[in-house]
Structure 1
């Protein structure tokens, strides 16, 4: 069953064929961000799952990246996120969208995604605005707003 509470970036999901998209949507609810990143890092396809769903192993990485992008953008930016958590989400989302911040400036990612990934674009704008706000607090000597530990 698709998630309906929040809008999330689906551009990469829509690029997948339906049987591969089914796997990605299932991963949305069963894989944590950490598990998705670990699976991307090891890049060892679950051959049994892919074979059962009749999905070529060449779709493994696109499935993981589509899931990671959707899952990152599913998080609603809020003041409870620590600065490190926001940065983690921004980096993971940009990397999974194909625009790693090691190769692209954030301003370029925002320009590129304006039309092709509008949900990601708006989500990035909200998160970066929150980062700027918290950075201003640090400069004035105030404590950061976000003090919770979400385990990212």
Structure 2
């Protein structure tokens, strides 16, 4: 990603959404991600959103659930038998979540109190990689509102 950004600098805004699982388990991937973050920190028009373990971890917390909130239950709640079935049919995913009673505010409330690897100021907290799950996507709506107000 960094190579592509440096090769062809974007004139407009760029939003990157990535999983943190590879950076957590591979030191060379972590170093590459840190370089990307340093580059992004210099720009006002590039934004990075990271979720650990993967994007489904952000999505499943759109639901408040007193039972064990795991990916299997998330897939079943949306009517899918497993992750393969889910990933093959994610058209209009946000509407699917809303129709089953989920909402972004639930995920924002859940994740805003968990230490994240990269915050909205592109400050890195390596210790946060010890968290089992995290996401800084709760900054996303704030970013969209900021751009919408321009």
- Structure 1 length as normaliser, TM-score? 0.26
**Whose RCO is larger (CA < 8 A, sep 6+)?**
1
Structure with more helix by fraction: 1
